[in-house]
Amino acid sequence: MLTSSTALTHQETGSITSPKGFKAAGIHAGFKYKRNDLGVIYSETPATSAAVYTLNHFPAAPIKVTKESISEEGLLQAVVVNSAFANACTGKRGEDDAYEMRGLAASHLRIPDHYVAVASTGVIGELIPMEKMRAGMAQLQPESGDHSAASFNQAILTTDLKVKSACWTMEIDGKTVTIGGSAKGSGMINPNMATMLSFITTDANIALPALNQALKEVTDKTFNRITVDGETSTNDMVLVMANGQAENDELTTDHEEWDIFVEGLRRVSEDLSKMVARDGEGATKLIEVEVDGAATENEAGVIAKRIVGSDLVKTAVYGADANWGRIIQAIGQSSATIDPEKVDVWIGPIQMLKESRPLHFSEEQASAYLKEEQVTIKVDLHVGNACAKAWGCDLTYDYIKINASYRT
């Protein structure tokens, strides 16, 4: 169990290159007009690796290649990522291109092919210009330092307005363990996964089964609790690499400080998740929904995500309209355990519903709160003791503009 003395520290300027032995690079290979569009994360030594992937029935070619790489030994030493082209629904040619992308990186970095994961993001159905990929791969020179992480962070963006980076450190076995992360995602976000790529690095020494378990547990509570538009993409991936250079005793679920590592991984993942939600296409506000008093944690999460994913709730928040009825209708559509006579609702500090009955509140005060950049909605179901959170954003006119002309 975590205690008040547990040393978990947020590193404001940390990144994917903060854990020992990790390097990165990002360059402009010509897939996009100006910004970096090809990047790599590299570990000096093979790293125990795990990933979770999109549940879309049309997984992109890089998903297949990465699954194959990880299944070989459970080890990776690099992940190479391109933006602009998703390499999804591209048939055998696209699959061949993904394998070539892996081979090019492996040859350039002088590591085995199956030590390389690949990821792509961008327009579905268009082939990657492989002549630009070949020339670009030769220019990738992974380096340590936050500047190299920044170049990678930019290389993976599509419609994102901001880069997304997080880092936490903790003490395990008297050693400093660092976890860093980078993500992209702005639209088509409704994980299990979404047009969301997230790459997490750590110098922790950890057993593969334990890493798989930790990633799945944390993903369910973070990345799978965000939504921008309810759409799940073809390319989603969360990948974690652990190279062991912190030299702690091997982490397993029986390790005395196992919970510390899981909490560190959760904090990095939650930071990235909230950044993705806040950077939703056209968004002006981050919405956080907290559900308490649920029968189970899973049901609390289902309701929280249902609320934050409701177009009616999202548009009400955009319009600074304190319409608690939108929240109730979203709760009522859930399959979770509900007592319709016991629900309490708050928007920010203002309680609007008590035992499913409306309370008097100041419309002016509520509207002023809803104009802030972060809006919190709290619900207490009073049917149990479980709680969970979910994150999303408001739905604006700009979302329509961006997606009406995404390819043009």
Active site residues: 195
Residue bearing tokens 């207490």: 380
4-40 residues labelled b (16+ CB within 10 A) or e (exposed): eeeeeeeeeebbbbbbbbbbbbbbbbebbeeebbbbb
CA 110 to each of CA 22, 97, 113, 130: distance values in angstroms, whole numbers, following the listed order: 16, 19, 9, 20
206: its two tokens: 């950890």
CA 396 to each of CA 275, 316, 335: distance values in angstroms, whole numbers, following the listed order: 18, 10, 28
CA–CA separation, 283 vs 271, rounded Å? Answer: 17
CA 341 to each of CA 119, 141, 337, 355: distance values in angstroms, whole numbers, following the listed order: 48, 62, 12, 6
CA–CA separation, 286 vs 275, rounded Å? Answer: 9
